Each structure stands twice: as structure tokens, then as C-alpha cells.
Structure 1
Amino acid sequence: MYLWIDNILEGLKDTYNTNNVYELYDYLEIQMIKLEPANILLRCNEYFYYRNYFGNEIVLVRNDLNLEYEKFILAHELGHALLHTETCEAAFNKNLINTGKLEKQSNYFALKLLNLDIDPVAFKGFNIEQIASSLYLPTNCFENITDKI
């Protein structure tokens, strides 16, 4: 189902010889800017992606996030930047696009980019919330994609 995303990830790793999200942002010239949580540009969110902010592609991120969570957020937003080039402009009108599908695709992209293996032995008896919490990930990142990881 997500073979096309796997192909994009493989192309990224082959082209840039890294899966480090910070290095990929540099190579792809996407700016990451950390802001105070109350900054108006964040629109009361933890992060916000702008495809064209005064001619720049940027991701704004709160400066108080856990590093592992920040990496996931950056990888997730990189997924949107690379996978959903036509739909990001329409994202402000949620009636025009299937945002749930796009979010699942970006979550899958992020989990695969970061090589987040969920060891079934280590997490035996854990529920999704406990696994997400121990990996510093949002609970919804596993929604409908755990069978594809």
C-alpha cells in the first residue's frame, strides 16, 4: 500500500546518504525555526509547516519539545513536503482534501525515515499509548499503519 513512500525514502537515502532529518532539511533547503510556545506564528500549535513563507519552505517548531518528539515532527512534516506537494496549498480548506489519509502517509514516512522499530518482545503487554509515550511519539502516529511497519 505504501510502496511508493518506501521508494521515495530509498531515493532520499541513496541521494543524500543519510536518514538524519536535520541533514535532510539542510540538503533540501527547508528551514527549521524554533520558537517560543506562545509565538503567534505557531497558531497555538506545537509546530507548523509553511510551503511558501516569503519564498522559503519552513517548519516552525516549539523550542520546548523533547528531542525525540521533535525529530518525529520534523520527519512527519518532511513527509508532507515531499509526498503532498499539490495538497499542501489546499490544506487550509479541509473540505477539499482527505487530511486523515495525508496524516497517515506522513506518519508512515516519519516512522520509516527514523527507523523506528517496534520490538514486539520489548513492548510485550504494552498498549499503543504506552508504546507511544516510551518512544516520545504521538499516539495517533500508529493509527492504521502498525501492520505496515
Structure 2
Amino acid sequence: MNSWIDTIVMGLKETYDSNDIYTLYDYLNIQIVKLESRNILLHGNEAFYNRNFLDREMVFIRNDLDLNIEKFILAHELGHALLHTKALQSAFNKNLTNIGKLEKQANYFAFKLFDIELNPIELDGFSLNQISSYTGLPCEILKIFY
């Protein structure tokens, strides 16, 4: 189902010999801009990707996030940058774009980039909070998968 995303992630890791999110942003020349959480550019979100902000690709992200969450969110936004090159041009027109599907794909990309495997047998009986503690990821992200 998401094998095309697996292929992109594998190619990215092989090309740059890294899955470090900051290294990948540098190689891909995408600028990370940290903003106060109440900054109007964030529209109440943790982050967002913009393909052409002052002729540059940028990710705007809150400056008060836990490092593990920041890394995952940056990977998620990188997923949008690499997977949704045409869809994001019309992302604000919800009639033309399946926003939920794009978000799930970007999350899947982030999981694959960091080699996060959630084995349902291993985690059987765990609460969402316990899985969150185990993976270092926030419950909001894990809810998409459970």
C-alpha cells in the first residue's frame, strides 16, 4: 500500500547515507525556522512546510517542542516536501485534497525514516500512553496508527 513511500525513504537514506533529520534538511537545502508557538505563521499548529517562501523551501516549527517530537515533526514535514509536491499547491482547498490521507502518508514517511516499527504483538495490552513512553512519540501521532 505504501511501498512507494518505502522506496522514497530508502533512496533518501542511500543517497545521503543518513537518516538524521537535520543533515537531510541541510542536504536538501530546506531551511528550518523556529518560531514562538503563538506566532501567526503557525496558525496554531506545531509546524508547517512551505515550498516557496521568499524563493526558499522552509519549515516553520515551534521553538518549544521536546527534541524527539521536534525531530518527528520535521520528518513529517519532510514527508510532505518529498511526497506531496503537487498536492500541497492546493492543500488549502479541501475539496480538491484529501488532507487526512496526506497527513497519514507524512506520518508513515517519518516512521519509516526513523525505522520505527510498532510491533502489535510486542505492544499488545499497552495503553496509548505506555506506547508513547516506549517510542518517545506523542499520543496524537500514535492515535493515527492505533
TM-score by length of 2: 0.89
Matched residue type, 1:24:
L
Q: Which residue of 2 aligns with 1:27?
A: 27
Q: How many residues align?
A: 146
Give the match's secondary structure for 2:37: coil
Aligned to 2:131: 131
Q: Which runs of 5+ in 1 are unaligned?
A: none
C-alpha root-mean-square deviation of aligned residues, in Å? 2.0
1:105 maps to a residue whose letter is: Q
Match of 1:88, SS state, is helix
Identity of aligned residues (%): 56
> Is this contact kept in 2: 1:9–1:113, CA < 8 A?
yes
The CA deviation at 1:46 is: 1.5
Q: Which runs of 4+ in 1 moved over 6 A?
A: none
Aligned match of 2:49? 49
Distance 2:63 2:79 in 1: 21
Structure 2: runs of 5 or more not aligned: none
**2-side partners of 1:44 and 1:104: how far apart?**
20
2-side partners of 1:69 and 1:79: how far apart?
A: 15
Task: Using structure 1 for the length normalisation, give the TM-score.
Answer: 0.87
Whole-Å separation in 1 of the counterparts to 2:53 and 2:99 = 21
Per-residue CA shift, 1:62-107, capped at 9, x if unaligned? 1100000001100001001000000011111111111111111111
Q: 1:119 deviation in Å? A: 5.4
The separation in 1 between residues aligned to 2:105 and 2:57, in whole angstroms, is 20
Alignment of 1:1-149 (within 5 A): 1-118=1-118, 123-142=123-142, 145=145
Which one-letter code corresponds to 1:131 in the other structure? I
Question: Is contact 1:108–1:141 with CA below 8 Å preserved after alignment?
Answer: no
